[in-house]
Amino acid sequence: MKEPEGRARVIIEEVQPQIEGGRFPIKRAIGEKVRVEADILADGHDTLSAVLLYRKEGNPQWVETPMGLVVNDRWQASFVVGELGCYHYTIMAWIDRFKSWRRNLAKKVEAGQDISVDLLVGAQLIAEASQRTSGAEGQMMQEWAKSFESTRVAQADKVQLGLSEEVAELLFRHSDRPFAVTYPGELIVSVDRDRARFSTWYELFPRSCAPEPGRHGTFKDCESRLPYIAEMGFDVLYFPPIHPIGYTHRKGKNNAITAGPGDPGTPWAIGAQQGGHKAVHPELGTLEAFRRLVNKAKELAIEVALDLAFQCSPDHPYVKEHAEWLHWRPDGTIQYAENPPKKYEDIHPLDFETEQWQSLWEELKSIVLFWIDQGVRIFRVDNPHTKPFCFWEWLISEVKKDHPDVIFLSEAFTRPKVMYQLAKLGFTQSYTYFAWRNTRWELTEYFTELTQTEVREFFRPNLWPNTPDILTEYLQTGGRPAFIIRLVLAATLGANYGIYGPAFELCESQPRELGSEEYLDSEKYEIRHWDIARADSLRNLITRVNRIRRENSALQSDWSLRFHPADSEQLICYSKHDGSLSNIIVVVVNLDPHHTHAGWVELPLSDLGLEPRHPYQVHELLSDARYLWQGPRNYVELNPHIVPAHIFHVRRRVRTEREFDYFM
Amino acid sequence: MKEPEGRARVIIEEVQPQIEGGRFPIKRAIGEKVRVEADILADGHDTLSAVLLYRKEGNPQWVETPMGLVVNDRWQASFVVGELGCYHYTIMAWIDRFKSWRRNLAKKVEAGQDISVDLLVGAQLIAEASQRTSGAEGQMMQEWAKSFESTRVAQADKVQLGLSEEVAELLFRHSDRPFAVTYPGELIVSVDRDRARFSTWYELFPRSCAPEPGRHGTFKDCESRLPYIAEMGFDVLYFPPIHPIGYTHRKGKNNAITAGPGDPGTPWAIGAQQGGHKAVHPELGTLEAFRRLVNKAKELAIEVALDLAFQCSPDHPYVKEHAEWLHWRPDGTIQYAENPPKKYEDIHPLDFETEQWQSLWEELKSIVLFWIDQGVRIFRVDNPHTKPFCFWEWLISEVKKDHPDVIFLSEAFTRPKVMYQLAKLGFTQSYTYFAWRNTRWELTEYFTELTQTEVREFFRPNLWPNTPDILTEYLQTGGRPAFIIRLVLAATLGANYGIYGPAFELCESQPRELGSEEYLDSEKYEIRHWDIARADSLRNLITRVNRIRRENSALQSDWSLRFHPADSEQLICYSKHDGSLSNIIVVVVNLDPHHTHAGWVELPLSDLGLEPRHPYQVHELLSDARYLWQGPRNYVELNPHIVPAHIFHVRRRVRTEREFDYFM
C-alpha cells in the first residue's frame, strides 16, 4: 500500500458501464464499441485531463485514449474490442498544469491584463517538460522555454506560441501527470464472437426427422434435413437432449403418468443402462454419426447446439455410481423433481448441497468438455435457474478459459431478477418473456428495458415465438397471420431469435387442452412425422425474413431499437440502424391477426439522418414494393390475411433533376 | 480467506441506501429511520429468510431484524439510529429449509397428495433444530419431532402442528442458517444531532452591531442584539470571520481596489500583525468576550457558528512563518487568489500542493479544534470547493472522532457534482441553488431532486434567500412581497434555512450596479448601521414563520416534500408531513410579487390520509384563519400586497353532529 497522498485532488466516480460495482463483466461481441463515461472533478478552477485505459487480459500494457468532457463534469471515451476473451478498462485523470496555464493566459490576454509573470510560469512548465523529453521534441521544448524568457521576442509572439496547438499537443504527450488518480476498479468486458450478437436458431427433435412416418429418426436423417434448414437461413441447429432415455416412471404420450408400450419417453429424462450425459441414444445413431452430422452442418454454415440438462432419470448410471450426488429422503427413496403440487417422477434433480459438490461440479464440467471435443460450441442450458448461480459462474468461466468461443444460452423462464442474474454471471444469451408480450404497450415496455437500460450490458435476448413447452394463446387463436406476426417481431426486434420447427413453419396450433400452453401430441413425449413440403408452410416467408436479416446490418444488433408513434394501437412501429446510419430499417406490424388496421406512423427524421424537406424512399423488403415518403408522418395499411407486416429499408437519398446527366 | 463454498446459493445485490458502492456513509439525524432494501434471490423454488444486521461503530455485536419480501425479489427492513456517531449495516440471507418444507406441506395438503415422507422430513428438521436448542424450547422441539414420527398421532394433527405459527417462530429463531450469505460490504450511516436536520440560521456582521452609527461593533454589542435574534426564532447565529484583517491590498468600499482611510477591509482577508485564524480582531473585543457571547447565546438557545475561511491576507503570520504553505511565482511574489480574469489581490490561497501538505493539514485542523475549545460546534466553511476533497474528508472525520456533534455547513456555489461531492465526503449541511430557483418549474425540479432521489441520503440542503454575496434579481425587483415569498419558500421547503440580516428583514434591495448581485455599500467592505426597529421590518412575520416551524414537525425534515398541481403557473403548492401523518402542512405561494393570482389546487387526499367524502379543516397559520375544505380540489387566492402565501395546517377530523353531547 502506498503512502496516502494528500495532493491527489481528482475524483473519478460513477464510471459506466459497470455491473454491481464491477462484480460482473459487461458483454460485447468482436468489433463492438465500449463507450466509457465517468464523473471526473477536482476542487478549484484548474483544468483536468483524463484518459481511458484498456488492455487485453494477460497483456500488462495499457492502451490510452484521451477522454473528453461531455457536460456537467461527465467525461467520455470509447474503445473497440477486437479479440475474443476479456479486456480490462479503467480511467486515469489529473490536474493538467499546462492546460490550466494556457486557458488562464487566453483569458488574461482577452481581458488586457499583465501577463509577464504568466509567461515566466509557462517557461518553467515547458522547461520542466523538456527534462522528461528526449530527442528533437525535447530540444524544441527547450527553445520554446527560452523564447518565453527572452526579452528579444515580442510578447505577442510569445502569446501566439503559448496558445498554439503544437505546443499544447506536445505538452500533453509529455505531461508528468502530477498526483494523477486512477479509478480503483479494473472493469472487465467479456468479448464473444459474432454469433453471440447475431444468430438465427432452429430447434428440432432428431427423432422426428425420419422421412417416413413411424420410424425413429436418426442423425443420418437429420443430415438430410440440413439443406432445408440452411435454405431457410438458420445458422444454429439446436437439439433437445440426444442421450439415452430412462425407463423407470417414463411418461407416456401427452405427459401420461404411465408410458404405453413403445412410447419413447421425454429426452429430458436423461440416462439409462446405455449411459448418461456423455452417451448418445442408440436409436439416434452413434457418436461418430453425431460428429459427422456436426461437420456436415458446418459445411452449410450451420452450428449444432446441444442441450445441457443437468438432471437424471432413475436409470442414470449416476444413481448407482454416485448416490452421493442425489438427495435421499428419510424413507430411503431419491427425491424426484417437484414444485408442489407439480411432480416429475421420471426426473431426479442433482443435489447441489451434497457434501461432494466439488466432484459433482467437476463431473458436470467434464460433460461440457466432452461435447466440445465432439465439435460442439453452442449449448442451450435447460432450467439453469434450478442450479446454483455460483456453479454456473464457475462452469462458464472454466470452459471459456480454453474455449472463449463457446456460447451458452440460458433457458430460464422465471422471475426477472433471476433471469438477469444468470446473464450477469456469464450466460452468453438468454431466453426472454417475448412469447408472452403481444400488445404494443407490452412489447414497447419490455424491449425498451432490454435495449435502453443497463440490462443491455449483460443480457443478450434470444427471442422465441414458440418452443416445445410454449404454444402461446396468441398462436393458438390467431391462425397463420399470428405466426407471421410473431415471426417478423422476433426476427426484427431481436438480433438473436429462434423457432421450434417444423411445428412453427407448419403453424401447429392445437393445445393439449384449453388453457394449456402445451402442444397436443407434443414431441416431448412421442415421435412426430411432419410434412415439411406442405404448400401452406411458412418456409418461403421465413427464408425471406432471414435473408433480410443477413443483408441488413441494422437487424444484427439490438441497441439501436427505438419505437415510434402510430395512430392505431394495433400498429407497432420501430426502427433499427447500424451505428453509422448507413443501414436503416423501419418495421411496422399489425398486431391484430384478425382485422386490417391502418394509420399514420411518425418517424424521428433527424435521428435517422433524414431531411424533413426531402422525400425519401422506403423499400418494402417482404413485397419488394417501393414507396416515396416525405416528412415524419406517413400512412400504412396492413391486412393480416395478405401480409401483416412491413419491413422497410430506408434509402436516405432520392434522385432529383440535379442528378440528371445534363442538369449542369 | 475462507474456502470457497459452492453451496452458498443466495445472492444479495443492489443494496440501498448506499453511495458509490459504500465508499461514503449515508446521513441521518438521531431518531431517524434507515430503510434498507436489497435484491435477494436464489436458484430453485426454496424459500429464503433474510435479516438486516446493524451495530453501533465500536460495538462488535450485530443487532438483527428480519427482512420482508416486498415485490420482485426486493426485500426490506428498517432500523432507527439512536446515538451520535456511526452505525454499520449489512444483510444476511439463507435458504430456509423449514420454511420451504412448511410451504410445500401446505401446498401438498391442499392438493390432497401423499405427505407421509414429508412428515418424516419435518421430524428430521425439527429434531436437528432441537440439538441446537437448550432448555424448555429444545425439549418442546423434541416432543414435536416425536409426534411427527408417532403412528398414534393423527395425520391431521401432525399437519396442524407443522403449519402452526408457534413451530414456525421457534424454528426461525433456532435456524442453523445453512450456507448463509452475508453481503460483502459493511455500509455506514453517519448520525448527527437534531440541529443537522432542523436549524434556523441568522447571519450577522458583528462589526455592524453597534447601536449608534459610526462605531465599530463589538461582541458586547452582539450580546445586546441576541434577544432580538432569539425572539425571531433563530437558533444558529453565524458570523463572518472574526479575525484580524490584513492591510496590504485591502479593498475599499464597494470593492474598490484601494481602501480609503478608515476602511475596515473584508473580514475574509484574514490575518495581520495581531494574529491569524486563532486570533480575534481587536476592535471586536477579546477572546474572552467572544466566549462570553457564545455562552450568552446558549442561554437563549442560540448556537454561535463561525466561518472557516482557509486563506490568508498578505499580512497573515503564515506568510513569514510558513512561506512553504504558499505558492510562490517565478518573480518572487506570492500567488494571489484569481479566477481569470477576476483577481483577489488581498487574499492568498494556501497551496495544497505544497511538499509540506501534512503540516498544513495539521495546522488547519488545530484551528478548528481551537474554536471548538472556545465552545463553537457549528462551522460555516467558506468556498470548500477550492480546497482538496481529500483534505475535507480527513479534517471532518478527524474532528468528528472526538466531537461527533460538530456541524459543518458547506458554502459552495459551484457545479452540482462538486457540491454533491463535498456533501458525500462529510459536510453536514450544504448551501444550495435555492437563491436562483424562482419559477414553479425550477423549484419543483430542484427540490424533487434534493428530496426524492439518492441525493437526499448525503446532501442536507440549507436554503438562503440572500447572503452578503447574493442579492438576487428577484429580491432586487420584487419589493417587499418578494422578500416574504422567498422567506416562506425557504422556511417551508427546507428544514434548514437561514437569512443574512438585518439586510433581509429590512428588505435591503439596492444592488451595487445594474446586473450585479452584490449589495450596494456591502457590509463586506464597510461598517453599516441598521435601524432594526423600523416599522416596515419583516421581523414579526419572520417570528411567526419560525414559530410555525417549531410547532409543526412536518416542517422539521425534508423527505416528505411533495408538489401538487395548481391551476395557475404562478401558484406553487406543496405539502410536508411527519412520518405518521399526525402533522400535515400544505403550503401555497404566489410566486408573482406583483399581481394577485388565484386558482384551484389539488391535494392527493389518500396520501395525506384524508377521506374524499369528509370535509377537513385547514388552519391558515400566518393569518389564523380557518377554512373547511372537501375533496382534492380547493380554491385559493393570494394578493402579494396583503400576504403572498398560505401555510395551512391540515386537521383531518372535523366535528359533526355525532360528536354533539346528546347525539347518542
Distance CA B357, CA A179 (A): 13
Instruction: Place B346 in a pLDDT band, splitting at 50, 70 and 90.
Output: very high
pLDDT at A14: 96
Whether B355 and chain A come into contact, CB under 8 Å, resolves to no
pLDDT at B635: 97
Residue of chain B with shortest Cα separation from A74: B417
pLDDT digit string, tens, across residues A557-603: 999 999 999 999 999 999 999 999 999 999 999 999 999 999 999 99
Give chain B positions within 8 Å (CB) of A111: 340-341
Q: What is the mean pLDDT of residues B354-373?
A: 98
Distance CA B507, CA A611 (A): 55
Q: What is the mean pLDDT of residues B429-437?
A: 98
Distance CA A331, CA B57 (A): 50
Q: Among A147-156, B308-317, B471-480, where is mean pLDDT lowest?
A: A147-156
> Given a cut of 90, is residue B664 above it in pLDDT?
no
Whether B389 and chain A come into contact, CB under 8 Å, resolves to yes
> Given a cut of 50, is residue B1 above it in pLDDT?
no
pLDDT digit string, tens, across residues A609-643: 998 888 999 999 999 999 999 999 999 999 999 99
Exposure letters B600-612 (e unless 16+ CB within 10 A, then b): ebebebeebebee
Give chain A positions within 8 Å (CB) of B339: 45
pLDDT at B486: 98
Q: Which is catalytic among the residues A221, A411, A508, A592?
A: A411
Partners of A38 in the β-ladder: A75
Contacts of A62 by beta carbon, 8 Å cutoff, 6+ apart:
A53, A54, A55
Q: Which is catalytic among the residues B192, B303, B382, B592?
A: B382
Determine the distance in angstroms separating the CA of A356 from the nearest CA of chain B, rounded to an integer.
10
Q: What is the mean pLDDT of residues B169-186?
A: 93
Q: What is the mean pLDDT of residues B36-57?
A: 97
Portion 88-147 of B in contact with A at CB < 8 A: 103-104, 107-108, 110-111, 113, 116-117, 120-121, 123-124
- Residue A529 DSSP class: -
Instruction: Place A3 in a pLDDT band, splitting at 50, 70 and 90.
Output: low
pLDDT at A190: 98
Distance CA A498, CA A470 (A): 13
Q: In angstroms, what CA-CA distances link A146 with A133, A137, A150, A151, A160?
A: 16, 14, 6, 10, 15
Give chain B positions within 8 Å (CB) of A353: 7, 9, 178-179
Whether B335 and chain A come into contact, CB under 8 Å, resolves to no
Partners of B56 in the β-ladder: B87
Pairing label, strands A584-590, A597-602: unpaired
Partners of A263 in the β-ladder: none
Q: What is the mean pLDDT of residues B529-557?
A: 98
Whether B340 and chain A come into contact, CB under 8 Å, resolves to yes
Select from B42, B113, B415 the Cβ nearest to the Cβ of A341: B113
Percent residues over pLDDT 90 in chain A? 94
Amino acid occupying residue B129: A
> Given a cut of 90, is residue B652 above it in pLDDT?
no
Select from A11, A121, A394 the Cβ nearest to the Cβ of B389: A11
pLDDT at A1: 39
Instruction: Place B657 in a pLDDT band, splitting at 50, 70 and 90.
Output: confident
Whether B405 and chain A come into contact, CB under 8 Å, resolves to no
Residue of chain B with shortest Cα separation from A338: B45
Instruction: Place A657 in a pLDDT band, splitting at 50, 70 and 90.
Output: confident
Which of A23, A328, A390, A415 is best to mutate for the B interface (most B CBs within 10 A)? A390
Q: In angstroms, what CA-CA distances link A197 with A556, A561, A585?
A: 7, 14, 18
Residue of chain B with shortest Cα separation from A21: B21
The torsion of the CA quartet B256, B262, B266, B268, rounded to 10 degrees, works out to: 140
Give, in degrees to the nearest 5, the angle at Cα A317 between A311 and A323.
75
Q: What is the mean pLDDT of residues B79-106?
A: 97
Instruction: Place B655 in a pLDDT band, splitting at 50, 70 and 90.
Output: low
Q: Which is catalytic among the residues B411, B505, B526, B558?
A: B411
Instruction: Place B125 in a pLDDT band, splitting at 50, 70 and 90.
Output: very high
Q: What is the mean pLDDT of residues B245-266?
A: 96
Q: What is the mean pLDDT of residues A488-509?
A: 98
CA B352 to chain centre: 29
Percent residues over pLDDT 90 in chain B? 94
pLDDT at A654: 65
Average pLDDT, chain A: 96
Give chain B positions within 8 Å (CB) of A388: 6-7, 9, 42-43
Query: Which has more confidence, A340 or B87?
Result: B87
Q: What is the mean pLDDT of residues A526-539?
A: 97
Distance CA B557, CA B585 (A): 12
Q: How many CA atoms lie within 13 A of B530 on its CB side?
A: 26
Tell which residue, A206, A155, A179, has the closest CA to residue A94.
A179
Q: How many CB atoms lie within 10 A of CB B343?
A: 16
Q: What is the mean pLDDT of residues A91-116?
A: 95
> Given a cut of 90, is residue B476 above it in pLDDT?
yes
pLDDT at B663: 66
pLDDT digit string, tens, across residues B197-215: 999 999 999 999 999 999 9
CB contact under 8 A, A20 and B6: no
B411 is annotated as an active-site residue: yes
> Given a cut of 70, is residue B654 above it in pLDDT?
no
> How deeply is B615 buried, as exposed, middle or buried, from its count of CB atoms within 10 A (0-12, 13-18, 19+)?
middle
Give chain A positions within 8 Å (CB) of B390: 4, 6, 8-9
Whether A339 and chain B come into contact, CB under 8 Å, resolves to yes
Contacts of B549 by beta carbon, 8 Å cutoff, 6+ apart:
B198, B200, B233, B491, B492, B555, B556
B382 is annotated as an active-site residue: yes
CB contact under 8 A, B417 and A385: no
Q: How many helices (H) and strands (E) does chain A have?
A: 15, 30
Query: Which has more confidence, B4 or B261?
Result: B261
- Within B233-334, residue ranges assigned H as helices are 287-299, 317-321
pLDDT at B604: 97
Residue of chain B with shortest Cα separation from A333: B117
Cell numbers that stand for A431 in this block? 431466453
CB contact under 8 A, B6 and A391: yes
> Given a cut of 80, is residue A362 above it in pLDDT?
yes
pLDDT at A4: 78
Average pLDDT, chain B: 96
* ipTM summary value: 0.94
CA B264 to chain centre: 36
